[in-house]
Structure formats: C-alpha cells, structure tokens
A = this chain, B = another copy of it.
Amino acid sequence: MSSLATKFAALSTDNAPGQEVRRSDADIRALMIGEALPGRAVDFSHGDVDAFPPPPDAMERFAEAVRIGGRQAYTEYRGSADIRAELARRLEAFTGAPVSTDAGVIVTPGTQGALFLAMAATVAVGDKVAIVQPDYFANRKLVQFFGGEVVPIAMDYLGGGDGAGLDLSALEAAFVAGAKVFVFSNPNNPTGAVYSQREIGRIADLAKRYGVTVIADQLYSRLCYDGESYTHIRASGLPDEQCVTIMGPSKTESLSGYRLGVAFGAPAIIDRMEKLQAIVSLRAAGYNQAVLRSWFKEPAGWMARRVGEHQGIRDELLAIFAAAGFPTRRPQAGSYLFPTLPALRVAPLDFTRLLRQQANVIVTPGTEFGPHPRSIRLNFSQDRSAALDAARRIVEMVERYRR
C-alpha cells in the first residue's frame, strides 16, 4: 500500500459512532438467532438532544448573531474577542486557574476540532504519545495520523480503587522512555471514571518533572454526580505552558448541532492551533460562536436537574446490567456506560450489528476505545423509559447469543 493508503486505512470509521447507517449489513442474516425484539429504536452511539434539549436561549443567541451580521460572521480565526473574554472569565472560575483572553483561548468547530488542533500542535513524526486504554477513539487515530507512536497506558477501571485506576507506574515509564505528550479524557470516555485528586496530582508532578505536554479532554466535567469531586489538572501545579484543556457545550448542554468547542491554556500551543485552524476550517462558524454566550449561564436549577435526571437513568441501567452479571464501572460523571459482556457465539462486531438489526439498538463497539472487544459503550443521555427497555433488549440478546 502507498503511504497515504496505509494512513487512511488506520482511520477506518466503519464502526465509529454515528456511521452505522453507512454499514452494509446484508450478510448478517445468516448469523441471526430467533426473531426480532420489538421496541422503540434507541441510538446509544450519542446523546438524544430531543430527550435532553439545549438550554432555552441558545437559538435566540444565534438569531441575534445573524442580525448583527458581518462582524459576527467574520471573527478572528481563534474566535470573536468579546466571546473569548466572556469565556476566559467563566473557564477560570470553573477550573480554578487563570485564563488569558488574548493568548489563552481558542474557539473551534466542536471539541473534536480542538483535539485535532491540539494534537497537531504538539505531536511530531516519531514522537511517543501516552494514551489511556480505554479512551476516546480519536486519541489513538490522531497520534497515528500525525506519525506519532502510541504508548498505551492501562486503566483498571473495574478495580475499585480510589480513582480512575490509571497505571501511574506505566505512565512514568512512558515519560522516562521519552513520551512528549499525554492525552486523556476526564471524565473518561467510555467508562465515566473520574481521576482522583491523588491521580491528577501525580500526573501533574510527572508531567512537570519530565517536561510532558498534557492535553486534558474535559468535555463532560460539568456532569458530575452526587458525592463526586472533580480535580482540574490545569489547577494542580502543572505550568500553564504544559497544559491545554478542552471543553465544549455539545454533551451535557445538548448543543452538539452547533459544533462548538473551546481549548484553553498554553499560549504557544493555542497560537499554533490558530495558525493551523486558518487552513483547516478558518474558524468555528461565526454565528454559532454566539451560542457560547449563554454557556455556564443556564437558568437557575437547570444543570442540577440535568445531572439528577442522568443520575437516575445511570442507576437504573446499572441495576439492569448488574442483574445480568455484566461487570460495569459506575460512572462518576458524564453519560457513558461501558459494560463488559460475557463470551458470545458471534464475533463482537457482528453482535453490535445484530443488536441494530434485531433489537433496534445502536451501541458503539468496545474496540473503538482500545483492546476491549467484549465491551460496548452506551451514551445514556436518552429518553429514560426507551433507554431502560433497550437495555433489557441488550440483556436478552446477550442471553440468546451467549456461548
């Protein structure tokens, strides 16, 4: 294969969340056991913004931007200065460390855009990059795309320790071996694990000692459940120039249709990100940027209610999977569940296709997140009763196909 063919083969999106509709499932019928399981279709590959709608004034902010016209259509590549100023104040309040309006914030098309730019700005050909297993599927693909070398760091997310279960000795070994960048999601996608203060402190210490750049994907850090505490690595003693934090309103706030992300921290990295954004997409859509004005300013009680509703669904789903005997980490934050299924008579990827064809349930295969073929990921930001019914159908399908 040519170098480009190899590069793009590694980027396969055949099993990526949201792409299910492009799969050809013609040959799956031969594997089917039993009849279809009726029930309302549930797409656990992403949250349902109809079940959990955006805050009330998002569309109003957008319409206002359209009325403003040119000034809002053409912002600086890093985003409108007014909006960055508002964001900087709120993000420093939320994370507990200063954010520079002028040098320390960039608005991107979704958090995916921020992650792409941050990795491009820090990973050179041949660089070692420490990646958690399991973690968000794009982390690994981005390292490969930029010609870096993935150094996997295991996370014992079912181990029951005080934190996420990251193998900190392996992380130090990776840093000793020359890893230049550590990228991780916190809360972890797909398990919902939140890193403890001890873990974050240790990661910060190690990164500081070995001069490693940390990219912290904190997309779900506002959706923290009762009794959990969250530690921001950017406020944990790591020098500002070694850390970029990524957030956005696509998940908890259901604003994914507007494609907005924000990266903040190290000015030199943000600067590179802007230079690259100029040739990747120019800027986050101008009018859409205005929707960020209402971010972190939801009506009183809105966020608490949203967290509470998700917590209820989480607990009921955990009960269903516990009764079925599927080992599952109890998410401390976010809306992902990552149950481990028992051994099946069909290949894992075929099982997810059968789930879709027979049970009207879409899940993301565990292999998208690392070497986790027996796991599936569910985004449980869904209509409650539809989600519970769908989870019961998953359990029934597992019984049917159990080895």
Contact = CB atoms under 8 A, between A and B. Distances in A.
B69 A49 contact: yes
Interface in A1-54: 2-4, 7-8, 11-13, 16, 18-19, 21-22, 46, 48-50, 53
Interface stretch (A169-177, A203-211, A274-282): A274-282
A349 interface: no
B53 A69 contact: yes
Interface residues of A, number: 66
Given A63-B59, A77-B19, A125 B3 contact: yes
A124 B16 contact: no
Contact of A281 (B11, B21, B65, B259): B259
Given A272-B8, A283-B259, A3 B124 contact: yes
Nearest to A7: B124
Given A3-B124, A109-B109, 9 more contacts: A13-B274, A19-B76, A49-B74, A53-B69, A63-B63, A108-B281, A110-B281, A112-B281, A258-B287
10 contacts: A3-B124, A8-B272, A8-B276, A49-B73, A49-B74, A63-B63, A145-B276, A256-B286, A259-B288, A281-B281
Interface of A: 2-4, 7-8, 11-13, 16, 18-19, 21-22, 46, 48-50, 53, 59, 62-63, 65-66, 69-70, 72-77, 81, 108-110, 112-113, 115-116, 121-122, 124-125, 138, 141-142, 145, 256-259, 272, 274-276, 278-288
